[in-house]
């Protein structure tokens, strides 16, 4: 068995495995319902998925406030009438004073497509057809008036902008309910260059008065399943709600939540929504006991999901005011920023089963990129490093292949001599291998060792937003999408064809024909892979060819 045959077959299995993992991601097994509800939060256990997600949460036995009977997303696309517009260097958001929540969030530095710079990524939106909201507030235990996400807040200004030289922007919203002993504020703090926003829910009462309630946060989104397609890199990424309860990170399946809502009480953790390259997350205080609830509502073709976190009820007074902080993150999956915000928040960068290997590769790759200033060049240089790390193993494989190629005439003669007796043919070939000190299986190990790196690097290129729309040179202006002119896959197919010419020809005519077809098959598969991955495999194949040519030359010299 020669190295090139093993490489080609294992590469084929690799492509099939990638396709299988994409299918599994889209069709996971049903998740069992988890019921760990704190009785002090809800006496009924699991909420019934019959109401839309806009209802107000209940605390300590208070009945939830019913929402309108219209299905999620129904109604006219009416813009909020009283909003606060906030602009920083990386965020452009609208805060609706009816509720005091962010109802739209744009990312000015991230266009949807590179050729459409004016159309930018929008994560949060109030429009019914794209509804995605983060709602926050305080809920009173006795059901009295409270600053929930349906209350009206006030602001001293309707327009805030981070000025040049200013590193922090604070937006304060005030609430004072008629007849309520509580006065409350929502304070958003934006920082230059950061997608994390600090949200403080504060409250106090007049001397001698008291109020008891709990803070809450919930995300609501209209579910839009991603269609799987080999022509779209986005389709390989998971989209939907996620939950980290302090111990385990879960990607929640919306269809499963529609059948069995999920409830549990944990200390710390966070909740969020992931999509390709972007994440929206909310991190409660680490030391607070939080009740998490996730559910989905509505028919399959118009379904909304909701994920909620309710803090522990507390007594508020002038002597013991409330000061509860959430950290919101609305932006790209920048790993440095994610690690600084919440425990294990970098899990939202979905590298799959080979996450440890992918993280190491990304660390090395990003270090090289900071040095050279180009992600494409960083991929080429990292491929050199990987090739160098496996040089001795690859050299052993190449030497075995060179010797096998040299023995090809003798092997063919033995096969002709014993063509009627397969057992005698095998014994004669094994004796020839022993005599010439050749191990036909020596080429397997290096290929097997390198395959995990191939898989891990694939997910680095697909999931790392740092390489989204990153240019290389000439016509390659986006390493995370396919080559628009299919130049690199075509060159790769040619190099793989040269590999077959440098390897021992298979004795079986059918196998020989397959060896000639396989490079075309792989080139066709790589047509739809990210250009960065094709660049990696192209560089690796080119270096392999040079190494094999040198080994063949040395073996030829040794035999003269």
- Is there a domain that residue 109 lies in? no
pTM above 0.95, yes or no: no
Q: How many domains does the chain have?
A: 2
- Is there a domain that residue 41 lies in? no
SS3 string, 437-498, reads: CCCCCCCHHHHHHHHHHHHHHHHHHHHCHHHCCCCCECCECCCCCCCCCCHHHHHHHHHHHH
d(Cα 59, Cα 41) in Å, to the nearest integer?
5
Pairing of strands 210-222, 132-140: antiparallel
* Same domain assignment for residues 437 and 522: yes
d(Cα 482, Cα 390) in Å, to the nearest integer?
28
* Same domain assignment for residues 400 and 518: yes
d(Cα 428, Cα 426) in Å, to the nearest integer?
5
Place of tokens 């409350």: 184
pLDDT at 400: 67
Long-range contacts of 464-468 (CB under 8 A, 24+ apart): 464/333, 464/335, 464/349, 464/362, 465/277, 465/278, 465/332, 465/333, 465/334, 466/334, 466/335, 466/366, 466/369, 466/375, 467/375, 467/532, 468/110, 468/277, 468/332
* Same domain assignment for residues 307 and 430: no
Q: Could you tell me which of 219, 282, 222, 287 has the C-alpha nearest to residue 57?
A: 219
Pair of tokens at residue 180 = 């309520």
Report the CATH number at residue 275: 2.70.98.90
* Same domain assignment for residues 330 and 376: no
Q: Are 439 and 400 in contact (CB under 8 A)?
A: yes
Q: Are 122 and 105 in contact (CB under 8 A)?
A: yes
- What DSSP state is assigned to residue 206? -
- Is there a domain that residue 501 lies in? yes
Contacts of 379 (CB under 8 A, 6+ apart): 365, 479, 532, 535, 536, 539
Q: Are 261 and 295 in contact (CB under 8 A)?
A: yes
**Listed residues 300, 320, 347: the one ending a domain:** 347
Place of tokens 């040089």: 391
d(Cα 411, Cα 551) in Å, to the nearest integer?
21
Partners of residue 1 on adjacent β-strands: none
**Listed residues 347, 377, 409: the one ending a domain:** 347
* Same domain assignment for residues 282 and 370: no
Pair of tokens at residue 388 = 């160098």
- Is there a domain that residue 24 lies in? no
* Domain enclosing residue 173, as ranges: 131-159+166-347
* Same domain assignment for residues 515 and 404: yes
Pair of tokens at residue 435 = 């005599």
pLDDT at 118: 86
d(Cα 166, Cα 108) in Å, to the nearest integer?
18
* Same domain assignment for residues 193 and 292: yes
* Same domain assignment for residues 413 and 553: yes
Q: C-alpha distances in angstroms, 510 versus 185, 201, 320, 506?
A: 76, 72, 82, 9
Pair of tokens at residue 115 = 């050729």
- Is there a domain that residue 54 lies in? no
Q: To which H or E segment does residue 278 belong?
A: strand 278-283
Angle at 484 (CA atoms; ends 481, 487), nearest 5 degrees: 110
* Same domain assignment for residues 421 and 398: yes
* Same domain assignment for residues 258 and 391: no
- Is there a domain that residue 225 lies in? yes
Tens-binned pLDDT, residue by residue, of the chain (560 aa): 344 454 544 555 555 555 444 444 444 444 333 333 332 333 233 333 344 556 678 775 433 443 333 334 433 345 688 999 999 999 999 999 999 999 999 999 999 988 888 899 999 999 999 999 999 999 999 888 899 999 999 999 999 999 999 999 999 999 988 788 999 999 999 999 999 999 999 999 999 999 999 999 999 999 987 765 544 555 456 789 999 988 889 999 999 999 999 999 988 899 999 998 999 999 999 888 999 999 999 888 889 999 999 999 999 999 999 999 999 999 999 998 999 887 789 889 988 788 889 989 999 999 999 999 999 999 999 989 888 887 777 766 666 666 666 666 777 777 777 777 777 777 877 777 777 666 666 556 666 777 788 788 888 888 889 888 899 988 898 888 888 898 999 898 888 888 777 665 655 566 667 767 777 777 788 888 888 889 998 998 888 888 778 776 776 676 66
Give 137's Cβ-side CA count (13 Å radius).
Answer: 26
**Listed residues 347, 371, 388: the one ending a domain:** 347
- Cα 39 to its chain centre, rounded Å, is 35
Q: Are 243 and 275 in contact (CB under 8 A)?
A: no
d(Cα 302, Cα 235) in Å, to the nearest integer?
20
Place of tokens 């060179």: 402
Q: C-alpha distances in angstroms, 110 versus 229, 277, 403, 465?
A: 23, 10, 53, 10
The region that residue 268 occupies, defined by phi over 0 for left and psi between -120 and 50 for alpha, beta otherwise, is left
Partners of residue 39 on adjacent β-strands: none
pLDDT at 453: 80
* Same domain assignment for residues 386 and 533: yes
d(Cα 106, Cα 212) in Å, to the nearest integer?
36
CA diameter of the chain: 106
Q: C-alpha distances in angstroms, 551 versus 299, 368, 401, 448?
A: 64, 29, 9, 21
* Same domain assignment for residues 341 and 368: no
Partners of residue 240 on adjacent β-strands: 274
CA dihedral 544, 546, 551, 556 (to 10 degrees): 140
- Is there a domain that residue 374 lies in? yes
- Is there a domain that residue 33 lies in? no
């Amino acid at each position: 068995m020669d190295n090139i045959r093993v490489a080609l077959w294992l590469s084929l299995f690799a492509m099939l495995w990638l396709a299988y993992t994409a299918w599994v991601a889209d069709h996971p097994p049903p998740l069992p319902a988890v019921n760990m509800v704190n009785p002090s939060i809800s006496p009924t256990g699991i909420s019934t998925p019959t109401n839309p997600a806009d209802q107000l949460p209940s605390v300590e036995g208070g009945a939830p406030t019913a929402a309108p009977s219209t299905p999620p997303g129904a109604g006219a696309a009416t813009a909020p009438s009283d909003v606060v517009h906030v602009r920083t260097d990386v965020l452009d958001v609208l805060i609706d004073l009816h509720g005091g929540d962010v109802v739209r969030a744009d990312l000015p530095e991230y266009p949807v497509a590179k050729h459409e710079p004016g159309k930018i990524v929008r994560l949060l939106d109030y429009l019914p057809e794209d509804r995605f909201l983060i709602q926050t507030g305080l809920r009173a235990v006795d059901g009295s008036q409270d600053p929930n996400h349906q209350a009206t807040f006030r602001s001293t200004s309707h327009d805030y902008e981070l000025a040049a030289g200013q590193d922090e922007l604070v937006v304060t919203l005030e609430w004072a309910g008629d007849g309520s002993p509580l006065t409350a504020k929502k304070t958003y703090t934006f920082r230059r260059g950061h997608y994390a926003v600090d949200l403080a829910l504060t409250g106090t009462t007049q001397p001698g008065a008291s109020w008891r309630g709990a803070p809450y946060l919930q995300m609501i989104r209209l579910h839009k399943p991603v269609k799987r397609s080999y022509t779209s890199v986005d389709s390989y990424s998971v989209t939907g709600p996620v939950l980290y309860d302090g111990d385990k990170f879960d990607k929640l399946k919306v269809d499963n939540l529609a059948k069995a809502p999920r409830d549990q009480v944990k200390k710390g953790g966070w909740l969020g929504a992931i999509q390709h390259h972007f994440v929206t997350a909310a991190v409660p205080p680490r030391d607070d006991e939080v009740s998490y609830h996730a559910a989905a509502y509505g028919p399959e073709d118009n379904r909304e999901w909701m994920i909620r976190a309710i803090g522990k009820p507390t007594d508020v007074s002038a002597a013991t005011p409330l000061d509860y902080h959430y950290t919101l993150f609305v932006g790209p999956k920048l790993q440095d920023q994610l690690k600084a915000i919440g425990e294990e928040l970098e899990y939202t960068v979905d590298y799959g089963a080979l996450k440890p290997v992918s993280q190491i590769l990304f660390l090395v790759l990003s270090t090289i990129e900071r040095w050279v200033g180009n992600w494409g060049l960083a991929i080429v240089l990292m491929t050199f490093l990987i090739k160098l790390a496996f040089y001795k193993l690859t050299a052993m494989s190449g030497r075995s292949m060179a010797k096998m190629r040299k023995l090809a005439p003798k092997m063919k003669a033995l096969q002709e001599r014993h063509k009627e007796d397969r057992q005698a043919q095998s014994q004669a070939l094994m004796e020839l291998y022993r005599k010439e000190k050749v191990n036909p299986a020596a080429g397997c190990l290096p290929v097997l060792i390198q395959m995990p790196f191939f898989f891990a690097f694939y997910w680095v290129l697909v999931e790392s937003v740092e390489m989204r729309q990153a240019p290389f040179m000439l016509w390659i202006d986006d390493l995370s999408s396919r080559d628009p002119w299919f130049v690199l896959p075509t060159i790769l197919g040619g190099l793989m064809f040269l590999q077959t010419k440098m390897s021992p020809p298979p004795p079986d005519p059918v196998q020989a024909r397959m060896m000639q077809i396989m490079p075309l098959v792989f080139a066709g598969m790589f047509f739809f892979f990210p250009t960065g991955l094709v660049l990696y495999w192209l560089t690796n194949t080119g270096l392999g060819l040079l190494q094999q040519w040198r080994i063949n030359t040395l073996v030829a010299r040794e035999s003269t």
